[in-house]
C-alpha cells in the first residue's frame, strides 16, 4: 500500500495531496499495464476506472461509420485518462487505446466516489485536481474546432 501511496503522490495530478488523502485514494488504486493496441475501455462502457498514466501513451478515439477510428487526443505520462467518472451516468464517451506499452495507476471510480461522498474535504481536493484538466481539454477542443491551420486563417 505504501508503494501505491508513493506512486500516487508522485503523479502530477495528485502532487501535493496530503498524506491522509493519499492513503484514502491509494485504497482505491492498483497498478495496471496495457500492451500496444490494447483497449483501456470502449465508448458507453461504465466509467469504473480512472487511469493515471505513468508511462506510455493512450489514444482517445471516436469510431465513425465511414472513417473508422478517429484519434482526437493522446494522453501521456503524468496525465489522466477518464474524466466522466465524476458525473452521472458514469459512462465513457469514447474509446481509449494504448498506442505503446503503457503503465498506469488505476483508481476504482466507485470506491473513490464513495470516499469523496463520505469525506467532502477529500472530494474537494479531488475536484480541484480534475477541474483544471477539464478546463484544459475544453480549451484544447475549442482550438481544434477552430481548425486554425486551414488556409486563410
C-alpha cell of 145?
474546432
* Identity of the residue, 84 or 99, whose beta carbon is nearer to other proteins in the bound complex: 99
Name the pairing type of β-strands 102-108 and 49-55: antiparallel
The yes or no reply on residue 2 touching other proteins (CB under 8 A) is no
As measured in angstroms, the least distance from the Cβ of 114 to other proteins is 31
- Could you give the dihedral angle defined by the CA atoms of residues 136, 141, 142 and 144, in that order, rounded to the nearest 10 degrees? 130
The yes or no reply on residue 69 touching other proteins (CB under 8 A) is yes
Total number of residues binding other proteins (CB under 8 A)?
Answer: 30
Among 3-11, 19-27, 59-67, 102-110, which window interacts with other proteins (CB under 8 A)? 59-67
As measured in angstroms, the least distance from the Cβ of 117 to other proteins is 30
The yes or no reply on residue 150 touching other proteins (CB under 8 A) is yes
- Interface residues with other proteins (CB under 8 A) are 57, 59-61, 67-74, 76, 78, 97, 99-100, 136, 139-140, 143-144, 146-153
Amino acid at each position: 500500500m505504501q508503494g501505491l501511496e508513493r506512486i500516487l503522490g508522485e503523479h502530477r495530478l495528485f502532487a501535493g495531496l496530503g498524506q491522509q488523502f493519499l492513503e484514502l485514494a491509494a485504497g482505491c488504486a492498483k497498478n495496471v499495464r496495457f500492451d500496444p493496441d490494447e483497449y483501456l475501455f470502449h465508448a458507453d462502457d461504465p466509467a469504473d476506472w480512472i487511469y493515471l498514466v505513468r508511462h506510455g501513451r493512450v489514444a482517445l478515439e471516436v469510431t465513425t461509420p465511414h472513417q473508422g477510428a478517429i484519434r482526437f487526443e493522446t494522453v501521456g505520462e503524468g496525465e489522466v485518462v477518464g474524466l466522466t467518472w465524476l458525473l452521472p451516468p458514469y459512462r465513457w464517451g469514447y474509446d481509449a487505446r494504448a498506442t505503446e506499452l503503457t503503465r498506469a495507476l488505476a483508481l476504482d471510480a466507485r470506491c473513490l466516489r464513495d470516499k469523496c461522498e463520505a469525506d467532502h474535504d477529500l472530494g474537494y481536493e479531488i475536484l480541484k485536481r480534475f477541474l483544471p484538466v477539464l478546463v484544459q481539454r475544453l480549451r484544447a477542443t475549442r482550438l481544434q474546432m477552430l481548425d486554425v491551420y486551414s488556409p486563410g486563417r
